[in-house]
Structure 1
Amino acid sequence: MSRNAKINTLLLLVVAALAVLPLVLGLGDHKEEPFAGADAEAETAITELQPDYEPWFSPLYEPPSGEIESALFALQAALGAGVLAYYFGLRRGRRQGAVRAEAAGKPGAEADAANVTATAHATATAAATAHASATAHDEGGSGGVSGDGAGA
């Protein structure tokens, strides 16, 4: 197993432990809503400490139900995860491209570069020959491409 695979496996186990341990240890058993969000916990604490507290502002949009609020939160989390995945994928692709470009410039890749250059030269020569042939054919007075479509 490679070093990256070991690190990824360890991180996955830590995340799973963080999700499962509170349930197994019963950390929220003494509460009415054991795993309420931080907003609900803060609201409860504020109303207990100062019952006459008035919020400074109200939300711009209040979802009609808790299910819709949860769905919007999940959508927000999914979009954030997508942006992060795109960013890290882009970085990895650029890094791999740089490694490939660097490998192409090293000794041993010179034969490959020579082959590419020879192929490009042969293609350019063939194109120039075809152009010269077509030009000569046009100057010969045939008025363009021959009837069989060969052009020469």
Structure 2
Amino acid sequence: MERSTLIILAVVCIVIFIAPLVMFSGHGEDDGYFGGADDAAGEAVESTGFEPWFSSIWEPPSGEIESLLFALQAAIGAIIIGYFFGYWRGQGKDE
């Protein structure tokens, strides 16, 4: 690629990265920004008056532990997927 093309792509990437930070500066989850689909679905279910018929077996003691478990789950999944893609890719190589 030409140098000018790379510079243009770099500028576009920087703009795409910074634009949401500038547009939503000072806004947070309390204002309804950056809330996930899980939050919206939970609020929709709660608004109907539905009561769950079971409770969790174990609740993580804090949000940090919950985030740690989620990240660990994602890492294990990435390792498994990466292993199989690497194995699949290695099968196509001649020795």
Q: TM-score, normalised to structure 2's length?
A: 0.62
Is contact 2:29-2:35 (8 Å) kept? no
Query: Which of structures 1 and 2 has the larger relative contact order (alpha carbons within 8 angstroms, sep 6+)?
Result: 2
1:60 to 54, 57, 80: 57
Q: Structure 2 CA distance, aligned partners of 1:20 and 1:44?
A: 30
Show the 5 A alignment for 1:109-128. none
Offset, 1:42 = 1.9
Q: Give 1 or 2 for the bigger CA radius of gyration.
A: 1
Offset, 1:74 = 0.4
CA RMSD of aligned residues (A): 3.3
Offset, 1:31 = 4.4
Is contact 2:60-2:66 (8 Å) kept? yes
Equivalent AA in structure 1 for residue 90 of structure 2: G
1:74 to 71, 74, 78: 71
Percent identical pairs in the alignment equals 48
List gaps (5 residues or longer) in structure 1: 2-13, 102-152
Structure 1 consecutive aligned stretches of length 4 or more whose deviation exceeds 3 Å? 19-25
Task: Tell me the secondary structure at the aligned position of residue 57 of structure 1.
Answer: coil
Show the 5 A alignment for 1:18-97. 22-26=20-24, 29=27, 31-32=29-30, 34-47=33-46, 49-50=47-48, 52-96=49-93
List gaps (5 residues or longer) in structure 2: 2-12
